[in-house]
Structure 1
Amino acid sequence: MENDLAYKMVEPDKSLSDFVESFWFLKNQSDSSREAIALPDGRIDLFLSRSWSDPFNIFLLGISTQPDEAIIAPKSSIFSISFKLPALEFIFNSSVADLVNKGKKLTDDFWNFNANDLNDFEAFCKKASQKIHSLIPREIDRRKQKLFELIYALKGEITVKELSEQVFWSSRQINRYFNQQFGLSLKVYCNILRFRASLEHIAKGKLFPELDFADQNHFIKQVKKFSGVVPKELFKNKNDRFILLSTFQLR
């Protein structure tokens, strides 16, 4: 990314890894707004934000299935917790089925966060971790836990039938659970994870399928479906428009 955009990501400690993928911040340090495109990544994000023009806000963003054009305000800060799907049921005790490709504003004191939390990223991560720890239930459905362990470990490269056989849960029940809880089918979610994994390869200039796509044409169609452009244009990432791809290019 250009120097006016600062980005940092840290992983949670192991005790939170079933529920949290990462903590991260994005800051636009310039006096001008930046156009950006957010790509589907399979995460649920809790955003804390503040800018010159907007007061402190907290949002919960559901799963994205399409690219989303956004404006990053000047002199703005975003601190975020990126959750894995089990967090919705076991940490938030809620569904985000109505938040596909959108989000909702939460109260400004949600989880006791406040504007001062945007001053120190390390302190924010510590505070968030302590809160999430306090919400983890003593018992978790082992069948669901194994389901998500397989999905994430294989980056979506597994069929619903294979998952059903390994966790002893019918395909129909799994899809009903996904639709009711997250607003999309398991197959669609796995496709999003596979698209996200392919971005790591595209960021390195590998414009041919590294994962289990049927062929090059299928790979291009899937990439275009979730990003709006073909792999070659993604790789160019003109003006660092594609935020998620830019983070891979920084690694």
Structure 2
Amino acid sequence: MNHQIFEPNNDLASLVKCYWTLESSKEDTPERNTIVPDGCMKLIFHYGDLYKHYPEDGSSISLPKCFLIGQLTKPYEVEPTGKTSTFFVCFHPNGFLPFASFPIKEMENTAVPLDKLFGNEGIEIGQEILTANSTSERINLIEDFLLRQLADNKNVDNILESTVETILTANGSLSVDELSKQNNINRRQLVRKFSSHIGLSPKQLSKTIRLQATLKKLLNSDVSSLTDLAYENEYYDQAHFIKDFKEFTGLTPKEFYGDHLKMSLIFDSKD
């Protein structure tokens, strides 16, 4: 798998985390992969062959060529049907709200076709990106499209933005009460804001960010003990770590380690 990461335009940097591409031949592509929740919604454009999704009921669904993947709260199984050539727009946890045409919570664990989000404009931008000749052209197209969508942008919610930044800085280790206190907002109000603006509760986003930080350490560090890794990332104990790990990946840390881990991190948002 070859992947590249690109920075957004300054006018979109508060909403868009990055753009990235993923490409491979059929021979380089794994049969099936688990996408692990990372707190970021993504626009996905398959200018290569389609992917299939495998829900928990054992069925298979062909994903659209162009869609938004809502907030994930559980592992999301996908499989390529051929050559992978994909362009991603990765939003910050609170970054998709200005573009949402219906409640973000309703998009949870769902692939939403672009026509449902943006009508005919969604169909048009999808076709333009699929037929573009280069990544730079795709980035220019999507940035022009998103900036047009921002014409009626709502004001930035400073408290929400500050709380998300606190979660990211602390790698998800703070409790909801601590987040409420640090950002001077009532706990119940904070939970409501997160649900409507991000599609996750503060606790869910914190658990997601903490697990992502742990996965990256598991991949990039010489980990001598899973117990040490659990304590280093401020889990109560190894049992707590394994419980959260299985919730988001469907596997234990030992089962998930190796190529499975590497591929899952490739499919998730980048630092």
The TM-score range, normalised by the shorter chain, is: 0.7 to 0.9
The equivalent residue for 2:70 is: 62
Single out whichever of 51-60 and 161-170 deviates more from structure 2: 51-60
The equivalent residue for 1:153 is: 169
Equivalences for residues 4-153 of structure 1 within 5 A: 5-30=1-26, 34-52=31-49, 57-92=65-100, 94-107=102-115, 109-110=121-122, 112-118=124-130, 119-134=133-148, 135=150, 137=153, 139-153=155-169
Query: Cα offset for 1:41?
Result: 1.0
The equivalent residue for 2:180 is: 164
Cα shift readout 1:13-70 (whole Å, capped 9, x = no counterpart): 5543321122112223227873211111111011111345689732111111111211
Code of the aligned partner of 2:32? E
The equivalent residue for 2:202 is: 186
Distance 1:79 1:161 in 2: 38
Cα shift readout 1:196-239 (whole Å, capped 9, x = no counterpart): 111111113424223111122222222122111222232223xx
Distance 2:18 2:160 in 1: 21
Residue 265 of structure 2 corresponds to residue 245 of structure 1? yes
- Seen in structure 2, the aligned counterparts of structure 1 residues 147 and 110 have a Cα distance that, compared at 3 Å, is same
- Seen in structure 2, the aligned counterparts of structure 1 residues 142 and 214 have a Cα distance that, compared at 3 Å, is same
Distance 2:63 2:76 in 1: 22
Single out whichever of 25-34 and 78-87 deviates more from structure 2: 25-34
| Alpha carbons 2:33, 2:263 under 8 Å: kept | yes
Single out whichever of 64-73 and 49-58 deviates more from structure 2: 49-58
User: Unpaired segments of 5 or more residues in structure 1?
Assistant: none
| Alpha carbons 1:28, 1:72 under 8 Å: kept | no
Distance 1:183 1:86 in 2: 9
So what's the TM-score if we normalise by structure 1? 0.82
Q: Provide the secondary structure at the position in 2 that maps to 1:172.
A: helix
Cα shift readout 1:120-165 (whole Å, capped 9, x = no counterpart): 1122223323443452748422222222222222222222112212
Query: Cα offset for 1:116?
Result: 4.7
| Alpha carbons 2:97, 2:104 under 8 Å: kept | no
So what's the TM-score if we normalise by structure 2? 0.77
Alignment identity in percent? 25
Single out whichever of 217-226 and 9-18 deviates more from structure 2: 9-18
Supply the RMSD in Å over aligned alpha carbons.
3.0
Single out whichever of 27-36 and 223-232 deviates more from structure 2: 27-36
Q: Provide the secondary structure at the position in 2 that maps to 1:8.
A: strand
